């Protein structure tokens, strides 16, 4: 049985996520939610993406409640903006829709509210400012460095396209939190980090961590050069959250699936690494 997914946001990233989802076997993209006054509302998604009509309609967010009743999505992937979740989390949670929240720029209070509704209505939520596999591997490498090099200075430099609204990026903030937590746990020291943000041209996403001591330095860097990296991560998160209730971060998704390997088999679910990389999981 196909997993029914709704997408919020058909902007720069959302459009590529839609294209990616439409290519996947075992997935039905049932609708895409656009803003109330969007010229895309009521149009066919295939046509919005510049192709043939697919019989899948984009709906304005004012019709979300009706669309959920009609399309019954199991998961909604959010690439709209933080206001979308602020406005609709109650409705989505109450309707039992599991959530992959890839939007960035949520305040601490908003994250707490998302957790509250997740628990109250027993849905699954993945909060994923850091949605790509590569960035999650970068975070693991940063944690190793923080354990071994707690005395070094850590500086984070993130670069994105000139239209990105929030700074620093959600990913950079999450990397900083993880480094700080690891240094606190292993060296019992509190550390604050500078995050340097660059907004220029069409950069898709670039995160560099410079770890500098008096005599040497290490640089760890992840660069996304295709938004398909975000789409692949969103699909992994959707498949995870359809099966795991409660509130999760993206690193939990990888920790419980791909990073759980000791051999070529996942300690968590027993699926082989190559299979799991394709994430051809069964959602029945």
DSSP assignment letter at 230: H
Q: How far is the CB of 234 from ligand NAP (least distance, A)?
A: 8
DSSP 92-144: HHHTT-EEEE------HHHHHHHHHHHHHTT-EEEE-SS-SHHHHHHHHHHHH
Residue of this chain nearest to ligand NAP (CB atom): 11
Q: Does 14 bind ligand NAP (CB under 6 A)?
A: yes
Known catalytic membership, residue 40: no
Shortest CB 267 distance to ligand NAP, Å: 26
20: alpha, beta or left, given left = phi > 0 and alpha = psi -120 to 50?
alpha
Taking the CB of residue 175, how many other CB atoms lie within 10 A of it?
28
**Residue 72 φ then ψ, to 5°:** 45, 60
Interface with ligand NAP by CB under 6 A: which range of 9-17, 117-125, 149-157, 192-200?
9-17
> Could you confirm whether 43 is annotated as catalytic?
no
Q: What does 47-80 look like in DSSP terms, one character per residue?
A: HHTTS---S-BEEEGGGHHHHHHHH--SEEEE-S
Beta-carbon contacts of 275 under 8 Å, excluding residues fewer than 6 positions away, are none
Binding status of residue 35 toward ligand NAP by CB under 6 A: yes
Spell 18-33 as b/e; 16+ CB within 10 A means b.
Answer: bbbbbebeebbbbbbb
Distances (CA, A) of 283 to 2, 199, 255: 8, 39, 20
Active-site residue, from 40, 88, 143, 160:
160
Cβ proximity to ligand NAP: between 11 and 90 the closer is: 11
Catalytic residue among 106, 164, 207, 222: 164
Q: Does 118 bind ligand NAP (CB under 6 A)?
A: no
129 lines the binding site for ligand NAP (CB under 6 A): yes
Strand 3-8 and strand 75-78: the pairing is parallel
Q: Does 103 bind ligand NAP (CB under 6 A)?
A: yes
Q: How far is the CB of 116 from ligand NAP (least distance, A)?
A: 21
Q: Is residue 11 a contact residue for ligand NAP (CB under 6 A)? A: yes
Q: Which is nearer to ligand NAP, 131 or 266 (CB)?
A: 131
Buried b (16+ CB within 10 A) or exposed e, 117-129: bbeebebbbbbbb
Nearer of residues 41 and 266 to ligand NAP, judged by Cβ: 41
> Which residue of 57, 61, 118, 159 would you call a contact of ligand NAP, by CB under 6 A?
61
Q: Does 104 bind ligand NAP (CB under 6 A)?
A: yes
Report the nearest approach of ligand NAP to the CB of residue 57 (Å): 14
Q: Which stretch binds ligand NAP (CB under 6 A): 115-123, 127-135, 186-194, 267-275?
A: 127-135
Total residues at interface with ligand NAP (CB under 6 A): 27
By annotation, the residues acting in catalysis are 160, 164
**Residues near ligand NAP, by CB under 6 A:** 8-14, 33-35, 38, 40, 61, 79-81, 83-84, 102-105, 128-131, 230
């Amino acid at each position: 049985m196909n997993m029914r997914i709704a997408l919020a946001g058909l902007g720069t990233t959302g459009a590529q996520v839609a294209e990616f989802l439409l290519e996947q076997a075992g997935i039905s993209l049932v609708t895409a939610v656009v803003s109330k006054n969007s010229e895309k509302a009521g149009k066919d998604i295939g046509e919005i993406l510049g192709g043939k009509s697919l019989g899948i309609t984009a709906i304005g967010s004012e019709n979300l409640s009706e669309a959920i009743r009609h399309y019954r999505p199991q998961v909604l992937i959010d690439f709209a903006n933080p206001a979308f979740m602020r406005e609709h989390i109650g409705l989505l949670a109450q309707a039992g829709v599991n959530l992959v929240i890839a939007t960035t720029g949520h305040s601490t209070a908003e994250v707490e509210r998302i957790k509250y509704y997740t628990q109250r209505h027993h849905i699954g939520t993945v909060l994923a400012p850091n949605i790509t596999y590569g960035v999650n591997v970068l975070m693991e490498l940063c944690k190793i460095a923080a354990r071994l090099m707690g005395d070094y200075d850590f500086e984070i430099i993130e670069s994105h396209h000139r239209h990105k609204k929030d700074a620093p990026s959600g990913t950079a903030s999450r990397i900083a939190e993880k480094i700080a937590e690891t240094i606190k746990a292993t060296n019992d020291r509190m550390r604050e980090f500078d995050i340097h943000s660059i907004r220029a041209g069409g950069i898709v996403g670039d995160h560099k961590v410079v770890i500098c001591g008096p005599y040497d330095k290490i640089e760890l860097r992840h660069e996304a050069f295709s938004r398909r990296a975000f789409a692949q991560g969103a699909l992994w998160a959707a498949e995870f959250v359809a099966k795991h209730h409660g509130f999760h971060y993206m690193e939990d998704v990888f920790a419980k699936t791909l990073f759980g390997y000791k051999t070529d088999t996942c300690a968590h679910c027993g699926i082989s690494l190559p299979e799991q990389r394709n994430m051809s999981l069964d959602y029945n």
